[in-house]
Amino acid sequence: MTATVSISPDRARWLASASALVAEEAAAAINARGEFVLALAGGTTPRALYEHLATPDVARAVDWSRTVVLFGDERCVAPDDPSSNFAMARDCLLGPLGIDGAQVHRMRGEADPRAEATRYGAVLAELLGGSPGDPAGPARPIDLVLLGLGANAHTASLFPGLRWSLQPDAWVLAEYVEVVGSWRLTLTPAVLASARTVCFLVTGADKAAAVAAVLEGSADPVVRPAQAITSRSATRWLLDEEAAADLVDG
């Protein structure tokens, strides 16, 4: 599969590029299907984008009243915990924009992880239809999936070596991640990669080696989980110059 890489020279232009992508995907989805289904990522880089999207001038570019919000992954903590992806999105984006709670489908990190994986999978099945195991994927794909990238090449909560690689047909998985010492919930590669647009948001020199390994290294998704997405779908990569520094073809 192909990857389209955009490199911004500074933070302001990176934010402008990322927010423009969200606005373009939202307009296309709403014009074609009447709503925009957006899956959010956690992490510091997406947080900067969410804060930018919530500023008045930028917020007007998206019809948030017709946006359905999902989450690509979640830490298994209470929704008011500082490490919660939902809490971050609520504080930086959903709350400032006044998005109706009925439009937001959060992963319940405070629940039993395996039970919540089943429940959230049912939410996705009802909303999207079809099955991740079907060759065509969900009947109504997510319009835009936003993803971050870890220094170990993980994305969402797909970490190296875990059992997500053995359950390709699931919607959602709950896994205990030893490296971070906690349970995580995550959409599977089949669900993430089936989106109409998949965009990796990556900034900073500490991510440069991972970016190069995923995009230009040998194919080994168990070791480099982000490749489980890039191997299934065309992806967009919005990088700053530091994150792109190790790319040979950058």
Residue 44 class from Cβ within 10 Å (0-12 exposed, 13-18 middle, 19+ buried)?
exposed
Please determine, for residue 229, whether its predicted confidence score (pLDDT) is greater than 70. Answer: yes
Q: Quick check: 244 and 5 in contact, CB under 8 A?
A: yes
Q: What is the pTM of this model?
A: 0.96
* DSSP three-state, residue 199: strand
Residue 106 has a pLDDT of 98
pLDDT at 163 over 90: no
What is the amino acid identity at position 89? A
pLDDT at position 115: 98
Higher pLDDT, 128 or 164: 128
Distances (CA, A) of 6 to 16, 235, 237: 12, 11, 6
Half-sphere exposure of 32 (CA within 13 A, CB side): 12
Residue 105 burial (10 A CB sphere; 0-12, 13-18, 19+)? middle
**Would you say residue 250 has pLDDT above 70?**
no
Strands 3-8 and 235-240: parallel
Of 194, 224, 199, 196, the residue nearest 212 (C-alpha): 224
From residue 37, give the alpha-carbon distance in Å to each of 70, 124, 146: 7, 11, 11
Q: How far apart are CA 70 and CA 68, in angstroms?
A: 7
pLDDT tens digits, one per residue of 175-216: 999 888 899 999 999 999 999 999 999 999 999 999 999 999
What was the pLDDT predicted at 233? 84
> How much is the pLDDT for 26?
98
Cβ proximity of 37 and 142 under 8 Å = yes
The amino acid that residue 183 corresponds to is: W
* C-alpha to C-alpha distance for 157 and 177, rounded to whole angstroms: 9
pLDDT tens digits for range 89-135: 999 999 999 999 999 999 999 999 999 999 999 999 999 998 887 77
Q: Both tokens of residue 196?
A: 């109409």
How many whole angstroms separate alpha carbon 165 and alpha carbon 53?
Answer: 33
Residues 6+ apart with CB under 8 A from 42: 71, 72, 73, 74, 75, 85, 88, 89, 148
- The single-letter code of the amino acid at 205 is A
For 3-240, give the CATH class: alpha beta
Query: Strand 144-147 relative to strand 36-40: parallel, antiparallel, unpaired?
Result: parallel
